[in-house]
Amino acid sequence: MAEYKNVEKPFLTKLTALGWQVIDQGFGGIPKDPTKSLRANFKEVTLKEIFKASIKEINKHQGEAWLTDKQLEDIYQEITAHERKHTSLLEANRAVFEMLTGKTKITVAENEYTGEKNPIVKLIDFEHWDNNTFIAINQFRIVTTGGPREGIIPDIVLFVNGLPFVVIECKDVDVADPISESVNQLRRYSNTRDSDFGIVEGEEKLFHYNLFTIATHGEEARVGTITGDAEYYLNWKDIFPEVYKSIDISTYTEEETLRYRENGLLKDPKVRQEVMIHGMLNKEILLDVLRHFTLFMEVKEGVVVKVVCRYQQFRAVGKILNKLRSGHTGNERSGVVWHTQGSGKSLTMVFLVRKLRSQADLKDFKAILTVDRADLEKQLSKDARLTEEFKDKNIVNSRKELKQKLSGDSSDLNMVMIHKFVEDELKHSASLMKAYVEEGEVPEFKPFEVVNKSDRIVLLIDEAHRTQGGDMGDNLFAAFPNAAKIAFTGTPLLTDRHKQKTHERFGGSKDFIDTYKIRQAVDDRATLDIVYIGKTTTDQIKNKEAFDRDFEDVFSKRTKEEKEEIQKRYGTMQAYLENMDRLRKISKDLVNHYIDEILPNGYKAMVVASSILAAARYQYLILEAVKERLKLEESKEVRDEQLIKQIAFIEACTVVTMQDNNEEAFISAARKKAKEMNAVENFKKDFNYKTDETGNYLKPETGVAFLCVCDRLLTGFDAPIAQVMYLDRNIREHDLLQAIARVNRTKGTKSHGILVDYYGVSNHLKEALNIWGAEDEKDIKELLEYFRDINKEIPVLEARYNRMIQLFEDKGIKEFRAFVEQTMSDKKAEFDLAERCITLAESVSFRAQFDTYLKAYFDSVDLLFNTRIAKDYYVQTKRFGYLLVRIKNRYKDESLDLKWAKPKVRKLIDQYLETLGIDSKIPPVSLLSDDFFSELNKLGGHTQSKASEMEHAIRRHIKVNMEKDPGLYQRFLERLQQIIERYKGNWANQVDEFTALHNDIAKGRKEDKEEGLNEQELPFYDLIIMRAYEEGTTVPEEDKELIKKLVSQLVEILQEAINKPDFWKGRESEIRKLRGEIDDMFDFSEVDALSENHEKLSTEVLSLASKRHQELLSK
């Protein structure tokens, strides 16, 4: 009820305010009448009559509807055809999407009103969005077949023209990890959860039409698609267009959220939910997202995902279109989109082009994508294909093709590298200048020729800050003098020391078209913040005498003239940075850091060197250090075999620019190795430790753990598996911000990127951040928070620890600090206190709070794990882990699990628990285990704890087995409730009664007596009685005998039918045939109660049969 009152009902109320027709079926029971949800029966997932009426209404000729009833029925059969085919959910969803958006044309033979042959029928009126029908229905019951459950009941389903576009799952805030629970339930509904036995859990057909799904608990609401796991469900934090922004969209900090749960807040706790409703479910916006902002894209070979835009992409596209409309000249239409790295700028361009083509006043624009690197051209051209108008022919491959491909007035999408705008003379500038001098001439420079002077051109310039100045940028602008220039950058030039600021270069306005900065991306979980670890001191870098000494050491055998020449060419700094002894020392340090901190969590590292020479040296020295560490681990008395295996798998490769033919052989060898191992691509992959029968690794190339670079892969390289960057190069301003963004991508349990600094770039950090200008102090402050010095994480750890202590002390456990710090001398008192803590956790809301606080604390311990300060918290961490496992086992709460703790923390806790005889990876002793009572007796005289342990063990057992025998386990559940109510607070009596109930559960059906039926038949008999007759009704003896005969026949039919491999998966036609046969048995039986409920009974019997598959086939 709380879920309905606090989350579901407010959601429906807001939809009503937006003009949706809302059918509120209330809460607290299974819907019985399908007509209330506008359907003929509960098996339908679409609103058929609404669909037909809507399609008829939006397809008119001169105001007159022309589609006939037969044509409407044919259209309905076509859009729902995938419900009857053996296609995957993704294939069906994509096929329906293409019908809805018009890529797949829906036609009928003739418009009988005008005589037109094969007219196209639209399923959505995108031009007049309010002509469509928008209906929201809650508690949308769907009866399923072939699965263990009777059906599913999504909390809210949103229909457009009778088709289910959005499925919403609501959870109350008191549920532990409510968003994950919501996503898990949505995946169950769509039958996309992993199942060991291929059992159907939900109803995929509901999701054939799905645009996106929403998981919400009021305070937090996130949106995802049918292919997304929980980590890909993200917030929608803004409302655009501005005209719809009618509510306060401020959001909570973590502390505010926690305070709300305890004390209440002044702000509306539903703010996140409301922003998503107004920002995504507004009628116009919803159809806009469907038409222009939804993609199916291949993320790796053979893996296609469905993508819906994020809010900053939707907003930026809208603002760009407004800019194109409002400006009268190319400059007035130009501007800068400041979106940070990792925010999806490439897809923003794709969405822009898609929407551009549907706008009557803008669709004639020629769009030209401009990039400045070959690898970015490759990546962006792949993304550009998602516009469905971009082909290889649209890439400008040479200077000569500029005019050939870009001078016309066609409204197409093209791509060009900005280097095509270099004058031919400048390509050979050095030799030309020499010739001019020898001839005594002064060179003349001509302006770059005009390629196209149309004002219906929009240049989309990627990473615009890198090429905005200089000849290439000037020539690009000269080639298209009247074009609108839209610049995309994550690091614009903004200070006076730059010759020209980015916003001045692109239109002159100080206002950016749209901004989405680093801090926002981190807050949205789109990217991660960076933890900074300084490994050098300032005087090392600035001490010239130290450099000179190292220089003399390295080049002691060179002549004076050679030394002077080397100094002129490289300088003392470079010599210092490339010194082998220095690099060897750093390599040992970074390898140990990597193995201790990064490798256990499965992530990888980039090493940024000062030169190509240093990068190649790092590769060899890192592998040398890895071998030393491996030898050390193998020699330990107590060996960590898993760590040894991981270290032995490590590889390092160098990815650098090709030098001239005189480069040293070891550099060439390193480059060759990287090519042979396909280092860049395999670096992006997870470590694969699988071996063949002989013990050889099947995928050794995935062991590339280190990429050593100098100038390559520092921009535009997307490898979420990279968590740490070891930096030994002088990088400043934009280059620094771009480089460290390589480790800020999200992946799995990665909670931050790490920058380990061997050069001292922290000295340049404030300088880098000052590119935002002195007037943007707020931005600079936020960015300094984004780069967190690891030393500043110590107070965070302390605060999170104290918050854990406070949580229990506020609930009356005053000795809790002594318990976790292991300073209690009385062991019995210590055990008693642990039991009080576990009893406290019976409250679901307390468990949710405990879970939230503990995750944050464990993250801090993981970050500082091998530091002296973290080691002072090892005992407390073990104790918290002990409580977590005990609470999880007591209340059978799967959301409380050590699996989300990082491997280092988990290993620390697991080793401690093993000494106590607890294995966190093994489920608690089950109710019917031989060891159940011996484990129970370990609780000693704690009768309340024993009663609680037994109650939750029995509840868990009933829940797990209910679907296998509903009749029997419903009786056990009712008896459990009676014991709790009758002996409330009387723990000793509860233990006695629970023991008797345990014994009866152990007996199961063995002593169940119903003359004429065996153990296989009894569950079906009880189920039929339960469903056919109302509770409390006396079943006539005559009916009982007839039902017994029917059940015996029924079980024989089931045993014969299902005795085939994978019967419940992939044999839909046979399942339908079996269901029809069972339905006829009920429909034509001599028992009125059976024939009146034949559809429901056949569905539930089939569901029970799938759950009892093994039992039915056992002798």
If one compares 434 and 734, the residue with the highest pLDDT of the two is 734
In sequence order, the 6+-apart residues with CB closer than 8 A to the CB of 660 are: none
Residue 760: is its pLDDT beyond 80?
Answer: no
Structure tokens given for 84: 């009857």
Q: What is the pLDDT of residue 834?
A: 87
Contacts of 994 (CB under 8 A, 6+ apart): 947, 950, 951, 954, 979
Least confident range of 151-160, 440-449, 987-996: 440-449
Please determine, for residue 432, whether its predicted confidence score (pLDDT) is greater than 50.
Answer: no
Q: How many helices (H) and strands (E) does the chain have?
A: 47, 28
Q: Which residue has the tokens 């806009």?
A: 288
d(CA 836, CA 851) in angstroms, rounded, equals 17
- Gap between the Cα atoms of 683 and 651, Å rounded: 10
pLDDT at 547 (0 to 100): 53
pLDDT at 831: 85
Residues 916-975 pLDDT 10s: 665 555 566 667 767 777 777 776 667 777 777 778 788 877 777 787 888 888 888 888
Per-residue pLDDT band at 245 (split at 50, 70, 90): confident
pLDDT at 18 over 70: yes
Instruction: Give residue 357's pLDDT.
Output: 94
How far is it, in rounded angstroms, from Cα 992 to Cα 998? Answer: 10
pLDDT at 908: 73
- Quickly state the pLDDT bin for 95 (edges 50, 70, 90): very high
The residue type found at 648 is: A
Distance of CA 517 to the CA centre of its chain: 20
Which amino acid appears at position 628 of this protein? E
pLDDT in tens, 764-787: 665 655 554 444 556 556 666 666
**Structure-token pair, residue 513:** 């078209």
pLDDT grade for 351, boundaries at 50, 70 and 90 = very high
Determine the 3-state secondary structure of 652 from DSSP.
strand
Confidence of residue 247 (pLDDT cuts 50, 70, 90): low
Of residues 760, 706, 708, the one with CA closest to residue 736: 760
Q: Can you give the three-state secondary structure of 407-471, one letter per residue? A: CCCCCCEEEEEHHHHCCHHHHCHHHHHHHHHHHCCCCCCCCCCCCCCCCCEEEEEECHHHCCCHH
484 DSSP β-pair partners? 458
What does the block give as tokens for 851?
Answer: 């879970």
Q: What is the dihedral of CA 677, 681, 683, 688, to 10 degrees?
A: -80
How many whole angstroms separate alpha carbon 223 and alpha carbon 368? 32
- Spell out the SS3 assignment of 280-347: HCCHHHHHHHHHHCEEEEEEECCEEEEEECCHHHHHHHHHHHHHHHHCCCCCCCCEEEEECCCCCHHH
pLDDT of 292 strictly over 70: yes
- Of 445 and 454, the one with more pLDDT: 454
pLDDT above 90: residue 23: yes
What number is the average pLDDT over the span 198-209? 82
1107 pLDDT more than 50: yes
Average pLDDT, the chain: 82
Beta strands across the sheet bearing 514-516: 395-396, 413-417, 366-371, 457-462, 484-489, 335-339, 514-516
- β-strand 303-308 against 294-300: which pairing, if any? antiparallel
pLDDT at 430 over 60: no
| Nearest CA among 870, 854, 722, 850 for reference residue 793 | 870
pLDDT bucket at 262, cuts 50 / 70 / 90: very low
Q: For residue 1095, which of 191, 189, 200, 150 has the smallest C-alpha distance?
A: 150
Under 8 Å between Cβ of 281 and 166: yes
Who has greater pLDDT, 594 or 1006? 594
| 1064 contacts: CB under 8 Å, gap ≥ 6 | 146, 198, 199, 200, 1058, 1071, 1106, 1109
- Can you list the alpha helix ranges (DSSP code H) found in 810-931? 816-820, 827-840, 844-863, 868-871, 874-891, 903-915
CA dist 768 and 664 (Å) reads 35
Q: Give pLDDT, residue 942.
A: 74
User: Strand, coil or helix: what is 639?
Assistant: coil
CA angle 921, 969, 843 (to 5 degrees): 55
DSSP-derived secondary structure letter, 597: I
Higher pLDDT, 240 or 994: 240
Q: What would the pLDDT profile of 541-597 be if each residue is shown by its tens digit?
A: 445 555 555 555 545 555 666 656 655 554 567 777 888 988 999 999 999 999 999
Percent of the chain with pLDDT strictly greater than 70: 81
Per-position b or e across 575-594, b if 16+ CB within 10 A of its CB:
bbbbbeebbbebbbebbbbb
Contact residues for 418 (Cβ-Cβ < 8 A; gap 6+): 370, 371, 372, 461, 467, 472, 473, 476
From CA 587, how far away is CA 756, in angstroms rounded? 12
> Residue 128: its pLDDT value, please?
94
Going by C-alpha positions, the residue among 117, 150, 456 that lies closest to residue 1104 is: 150
pLDDT band at 424 (very low <50, low <70, confident <90, very high): low
pLDDT at 349 over 90: yes
- Whether the Cβ atoms of residue 855 and residue 898 lie closer than 8 Å to each other: no
pLDDT digits (tens, 9 = 90+) for 815-855: 999 999 999 988 888 888 988 898 888 887 788 788 888 88
Residue 607 has pLDDT above 50, yes or no: yes
391 — pLDDT class (breaks 50, 70, 90):
confident
Q: In this model, does residue 733 exceed pLDDT 80?
A: no
**Are 837 and 569 contacting, i.e. CB atoms less than 8 angstroms apart?**
no
Tell me the pLDDT band of 463, cut-offs 50, 70 and 90. confident
pLDDT at residue 68 tops 90: yes
At 500, the pLDDT band (50, 70, 90 cuts) reads very low
Reply yes or no on whether the pLDDT at 258 is more than 60.
no
- Of 89-103, 170-184, 893-907, 1080-1094, which range is least confident? 893-907
| Residue 504: pLDDT over 70 | no
Q: What are phi and psi of 739, to 5 degrees?
A: -65, -50
Task: Answer for the pair 336, 512: CB distance below 8 angstroms, yes or no.
Answer: yes
* Alpha carbon 210 to chain centroid, angstroms: 18
